[in-house]
Chain A
Amino acid sequence: MTGVRVLVGTRKGAFICSSDGTRQDWDVTGPLFGGWEIYHVKGSPADANRLYASQTSGWSGQVIQRSDDGGKTWEPVGNKFSYDGTPGTHQWYDGTPHPWEFARVWHLEPSLHDPDTVYAGVEDAGLFKSGDGGQTWVELPGLRGHDSGSSWQPGAGGMCLHTIIQDPANPARIFTAISAAGAFRSDDSGQTWRPINRGLHSEGIPDEDAEVGHCVHRIAMHPSRPSVLFMQKHWDVMRSDDAGDSWHEISGNLPTDFGFPIDVHAHEPDTIYVVPITSDSLHYPPDGKLRVYRSRTGGDEWQPLTAGLPQRDCYVNVYRDAMAVDSLDECGVYFGTTGGQVYASADAGDTWSPIVRDLPAVLSVEVQTLP
């Protein structure tokens, strides 16, 4: 029997929600790692039983947890993230130089092929890699060492590397995104990097079309079409048809083009999802209505999806890592809110229902489709 496992990271622990292929009845287990912030939990595409979790705390720093049995048991693995060489400085909020300091792991991206290989995107922005199941971590310093590195600056949530995408057709190609530096691409397995931000336009930076400095919130790709990327930027929803070499805006008829997550339907590469948020200072949906917007045309034309979602008095946010899709025949779509709800749609977004309503604020949602 096929099924899904939804991996939820929250401000106060992790939760695992399981269901069969109908996705109607859910078993919720947790909290795991109660009291700790769980920025991200993700399973290996090569082994569904291998999970990684980023567990952090303002008191006690970073812990990485690993499960080899689908989340039934966990063990702490390596938590030493040392920047390569002398870290140097980036820009602080006020434009002054600020030393690079490790704060936490925002995002864990297991290899497409090897359960023991996993990438970590960290704050202050850097990319780390483990080849031994998370026991030891080494930086891929070419990214942070890019000529522009000293000019990168934090977004409101910190200077985080939050998006890591591997190109399934080209193992040497990796995409990353950093708030607020922008998007970067490597074509040599992470050794060297180039900014891929041409076409982005951001108010609030001295040169609105600069090569770096854009607050990219999230990038998504469909694995069958890796040269097409979709981006939710601080403001603007963007699309690239040339692996990031250039971007054009696809915000179209969205009620606001501010937001955090963006994702792609598992079987329709031109069907994409965003959750419009009022503005950078009003981190809640417009008009108190929680609406997912879906485009079936690869952008520009958007349709609100509201069935089963609160359409009055709703003032939650949806963070950048808190949306995911499963790959069952009828694609499932999932997202979590700062109000602790995790919503699921078993019909590609047409209708929604909560898996669970009262968790701590949700930081991340990932889904595993189980055989």
Chain B
Amino acid sequence: MGGSDVIRVVLPSHLRRLASIQGEVQLEIAGAVTQCSVLDALETRYPMLRGTIRDQDSKRRRAFIRFFACEEDLSHELPDAPLPAAVAAGSEPYLIVGAMAGG
């Protein structure tokens, strides 16, 4: 996996409002498409999202944030593990989701 792919990312509504994003985000990823590389690219384009999805220092996912794609829960995959091919190819979105915790 490599080259430059366009990845589709869907954010929860409260983060879309924070970053003034309409609809999906499309990101070009150079190199391996992983949780880490997707979030790096996302935070580079939208610096106000730093700290809202993962810790700014440890890069650990915030406890009430989940990552879904292709009808699978990828929240507990290693940050540098390759994402599914359909995500890397842009045919399926990478979903960043707020855990169902009421509120």
Q: Is the CB–CB distance between B17 and A34 below 8 Å?
A: yes
Q: Which stretch from A19-27, A76-84, A327-335 is at the chain B interface? A: A76-84
Q: Is the CB–CB distance between A58 and B64 below 8 Å?
A: yes
> Which of A57, A76, A80, A82 is close to B14, meaning CB atoms less than 8 Å apart?
A57
With an 8 A cutoff between CB atoms, is A63 at the interface?
yes
Q: Which 3 A-B pairs have the closest CB atoms?
A: A60-B52, A76-B48, A59-B98
Q: Is the CB–CB distance between A79 and B51 below 8 Å?
A: yes
Most B CB contacts (10 A, CB to CB) among A33, A61, A62 go to: A61
- Apart from A57-B52, A58-B103, A60-B98, what 16 extra A-B contacts exist at CB < 8 Å? A35-B13, A57-B14, A58-B64, A58-B101, A59-B98, A59-B101, A60-B53, A60-B62, A60-B64, A61-B52, A61-B62, A63-B18, A63-B51, A63-B52, A79-B50, A82-B57
Residues of B within 8 A of A62 (CB): 51
Chosen A-B contacts, 30 in total, with CB atoms closer than 8 Å, are: A33-B17, A33-B18, A34-B17, A35-B13, A35-B14, A35-B17, A36-B14, A57-B52, A58-B64, A58-B101, A58-B103, A59-B99, A59-B101, A60-B14, A60-B15, A60-B52, A60-B53, A60-B62, A60-B64, A60-B65, A60-B98, A61-B51, A61-B62, A63-B18, A63-B51, A76-B18, A79-B50, A79-B52, A80-B51, A82-B57
With an 8 A cutoff between CB atoms, is B12 at the interface?
yes
Q: In the complex the two chains form, what is the Cα distance from A4 to B26 in whole Å?
A: 44
Residues 69-103 of B, flagged 1 when their CB comes within 8 A of A and 0 if not, give 00000000000000000000000000000110101
With an 8 A cutoff between CB atoms, is B56 at the interface?
yes
| Closest chain B CB from A14 CB (angstroms) | 13
> Which of B17, B51, B64 is close to A59, meaning CB atoms less than 8 Å apart?
B64
Across the interface, name the chain A residue whose C-beta is closest to B99.
A59
Residues 44-69 of B, flagged 1 when their CB comes within 8 A of A and 0 if not, give 00001011110011000010110000
| Interface set, chain A 25-62, CB cutoff 8 A to B | 33-36, 57-62
Report the contact-size class of chain A (Cβ under 8 Å from the partner).
10 to 19
Q: In the complex the two chains form, what is the Cα distance from A61 to B48 in whole Å?
A: 12
Q: In the complex the two chains form, what is the Cα distance from A60 to B12 in whole Å?
A: 10
The interface on chain B, measured as residues whose beta carbon lies within 8 A of the other chain's beta carbons, has a size of 20
| Closest chain A CB from B93 CB (angstroms) | 19
Residues of B within 8 A of A33 (CB): 17-18
Q: In the complex the two chains form, what is the Cα distance from A76 to B99 in whole Å?
A: 23
Residues of B within 8 A of A63 (CB): 18, 48, 51-52
| Closest chain A CB from B101 CB (angstroms) | 7
Across the interface, name the chain A residue whose C-beta is closest to B51.
A79
Q: In the complex the two chains form, what is the Cα distance from A238 to B8 in whole Å?
A: 58
Q: In the complex the two chains form, what is the Cα distance from A59 to B50 in whole Å?
A: 13
Across the interface, name the chain B residue whose C-beta is closest to A11.
B103
Residues of B within 8 A of A59 (CB): 12, 14, 62, 64-65, 98-99, 101
Residues of A within 8 A of B62 (CB): 59-61
Q: In the complex the two chains form, what is the Cα distance from A35 to B50 in whole Å?
A: 19
Residues of A within 8 A of B15 (CB): 60
Residues of B within 8 A of A58 (CB): 64, 101, 103
Q: In the complex the two chains form, what is the Cα distance from A60 to B51 in whole Å?
A: 7
Residues of A within 8 A of B64 (CB): 58-60
Across the interface, name the chain A residue whose C-beta is closest to B65.
A59
Residues of A within 8 A of B48 (CB): 63, 76
Across the interface, name the chain B residue whose C-beta is closest to A55.
B18
Residues of A within 8 A of B98 (CB): 59-60
| Interface set, chain A 102-124, CB cutoff 8 A to B | none
| Closest chain A CB from B28 CB (angstroms) | 24
| Closest chain B CB from A368 CB (angstroms) | 25
Residues of B within 8 A of A57 (CB): 14, 52
| Closest chain A CB from B43 CB (angstroms) | 12
| Closest chain B CB from A339 CB (angstroms) | 18
| Closest chain A CB from B11 CB (angstroms) | 10
Query: A59-B99, A61-B62, A62-B51 known; A80 and B56 CB under 8 Å?
Result: yes
Residues of B within 8 A of A61 (CB): 51-52, 62
Across the interface, name the chain B residue whose C-beta is closest to A60.
B52
| Closest chain B CB from A254 CB (angstroms) | 35
Across the interface, name the chain B residue whose C-beta is closest to A58.
B64
Q: In the complex the two chains form, what is the Cα distance from A80 to B12 in whole Å?
A: 21
Q: In the complex the two chains form, what is the Cα distance from A63 to B18 in whole Å?
A: 9
